[in-house]
Structure 1
């Protein structure tokens, strides 16, 4: 028997093997941050192992509880439908396993720390008032998820005093070229593109191509960053507290 719940990280999945490899490296970083914690990687689609298989294995290995942590940067369809649906089915199949779902990673300060580190690597000092920053994400059919990306870059713009900041998306508007052109038209002396994306893949490649075509330096995705790993653990802890309390009183 295990005292603490297993941490089951679930990513979207991709046909691009770089995506799964990057997420696996991130999960390895989580294990380094919390030695002894049973941390497992799963995917919703396109990559293996899938979330139902991993939850089955967690139960078979003797765990009584698990916390599913969605490796998602916004709360949209995957967070509100796909993950809860898979967990509900697993809970019906595994009555001896108590499964809870944590909030998505979006909103944790570790993501901003990692993204700004990536941005500074291509932009240089961030306290440049002539700077325009495009924060690029995949994009969602759920408008609040897209608006949240705009809120992130707006907060950075106020913090650093940039000339301007804008969200852009690979699958909806504004596109990266549109956002870059708009910032230049408003007088930004130079424009750089950051990625509000966890791992490389086919759609992130589109962002890189568009930024390069617009002659705007582009930062890398968040990747296996220690601050992102800490964000994952913080989301886990927010749902695992009852189990930890139980251990302390056992």
Structure 2
């Protein structure tokens, strides 16, 4: 099992290095400007990417020094993310691509998992291409890394949330027609429903769909300190602002808030 770890580490580091080099200005959203100074933040960000590539090549070439270097790099990641969370709490991770989310427990957990994997790789006694069935375990490990990577949420987590909302919709029974999204958005912004939850919204429109004479649009939101999704139901035929309805649902698709007055309209 340990012999297969360098392959996983090498691929992860190549991925994170690519995203850093592709979007170097992401450095401005991290804690690097505070740590090394704003003029040097992008350069430091790119330098980390180059180091990641070099360590990845050592790992993929089954050089033992690669695993040791990966341990040192992982310790640096854990330290940097901890510093970010404490000193610059609004800073994003910048670990693997564009992200506006502040450093959270998932980012730190991913760095710790990377550290554990790096330590495991130092015990490898054979090259990764000789690991045999041990390579199958990498699929599970890669899935765990993906689940801890907020940068990949749009590929798996958001589709699951949308499916949950559609299967157990908080406004079921209450969108198709070729109505421009901007027209729907204007109706939402002018509605009492929007004013009722405006302070809870954290994004622009994330998704929309039509069903049985209604158009549903969703926004990212927070309610009672938890992440949620605000779903607006906009009827095609009734153009009055009061006809728009709204409900907030959690990650499991359960309704956590629905304005009482609006619910009875």
Scaled by the length of structure 2, the TM-score of the pair is 0.30
Larger radius of gyration: 2
Scaled by the length of structure 1, the TM-score of the pair is 0.31
